[in-house]
Amino acid sequence: MTGPARAAQAAVIALDVGGTAIKGALETRDGVVHRRIDLPTPVADGVGAVLAAVVTAAEELRPAPGDLLTARGAGLIFPGVVDSSAGVARFSANIGWRDLPIRRLVSERVGVPVAIDHDVRAAGLAEARLGTGRGVDEFLFLAIGTGIAGAVVTRGSVVAGASCTAGELGHLPVHPSGDRCACGQLGCTEAYASAAALPRRYLAQGGAGPVRAEDVIARAGRGDRIAQRVLDEAIVALGRALVIYTLVMDPALVVIGGGLARAGAALTEPLRDEVERGLAFRPAPRIVISDLGSDAGRRGAALVAWKALDEHA
């Protein structure tokens, strides 16, 4: 005689869609990852191809018949201007989405409820719940990669802002008459301190290539004067942005994530010094590297899905 059938455990599909890769996972409420996937993002093939790749990733993560897991929903995160409440990708330059009702399109194809959010805000949520920001009510998660963006965490919650663009520290004009940024403004933080800016500025000033951002930082540590100048200028830009943020929002902590976080102390130590120099009458917040690393977005996407399911229970 067989025993009673075991009930399937609820899980969510987590999808972190970037301009280069789609990172996915099937995750249960207890945070256990049961399946993981990484696929290239076919940006060059157009909007439809990217949408199809997202659906393919979701289908590959869905529990197979007979698994003791069931997909209750999905969390989908991506860069750009994300209208979470409307379920619309307002503008995502890296992916090619504009005013795309992405929540409805993916939900119809995958057959589960879908929640969407900004990738950095979702990563900030993961830091607040699971990572370096646990127990800290007021902090900033700053992702420094190809671009620069922040997740504003206040009273323990991630803030989107009136137009869903809170945390755009990459476009603070820290040098008002400086280099032109891709956004059209002059002197943005991102134009000096992103992982794309470091090699571009190094080569423009006479450095030898090919080179990546981490190479510029390593060469600075070995005494390359051009690399050191480019890194110093990046630290000044980041420091000014963080001084402004600190004076406005008064965070206890700044958590650095994104690809440039791999530089570790070579980034955080001079950055702490720069922020301290810019704050004459008050102490600087602690500046640390993310505990979750490159997985912060994927973990955040799962949290976005669970949060939406709880709200609609």
For residue 305, what pLDDT is reported? 97
Look at residue 222 and tell me if it is in a domain.
yes
Are 33 and 82 in contact, with CB atoms under 8 Å apart?
A: no
126 within a domain of the structure (yes/no): no
Per-residue pLDDT at 4 exceeds 70 = no
Rounded CA separation 31/136 (Å) = 20
Mark whether 221 and 303 lie in a shared domain.
no
Q: What percent of the chain has pLDDT over 90?
A: 85
pLDDT averaged over the chain? 93
- For 96-131, write each residue's pLDDT tens digit: 899 999 999 999 999 999 999 999 999 999 999 999
pLDDT at 288: 97
Instruction: Give the integer Cα–Cα distance in Å for 242 and 142.
Output: 10
Shared domain for 69 and 147, answered yes or no, is no
Task: Identify which has the larger pLDDT, 65 or 58.
Answer: 58
CATH, residue 267:
3.30.420.40
SS3 173: strand
End-to-end CA distance of the chain: 36
For residue 76, the surrounding DSSP H or E stretch is strand 69-78
What does the pLDDT look like over 20-54, one tens digit per residue? 899 999 999 999 999 999 999 999 999 999 999 99
User: Do residue 141 and residue 260 come from a single domain?
Assistant: yes
Q: Which pLDDT score, from 0 to 100, does residue 105 have?
A: 97
Tell me whether residue 127 is in a domain: no
2 domain-assigned: no
What are the residues whose beta carbons fall under 8 Å from the beta carbon of 166, sequence distance 6 or more? 152, 159, 160
Overall number of domains in the chain: 2
pLDDT value of position 20: 86
SS3 content of the chain, % helix, strand, coil (to 5): 40, 25, 35
Alpha-carbon torsion (118, 168, 293, 200), positive or negative: positive
pLDDT of residue 297: 94
Give the model confidence (pLDDT) of 284-304 as tens digits. Answer: 999 999 999 989 999 999 999
Domain of residue 28 covers: 9-119+295-311
4 domain residue, yes or no: no
pLDDT at 5 over 60: no
Per-residue pLDDT at 78: 94
Average pLDDT over residues 195-221: 95
Work out the pLDDT band at 154, boundaries 50, 70, 90.
Answer: very high
Mean pLDDT of 69-94: 92
Q: For residue 1, what pLDDT band results from cuts at 50, 70 and 90?
A: very low
Residue at 41 is within a domain: yes
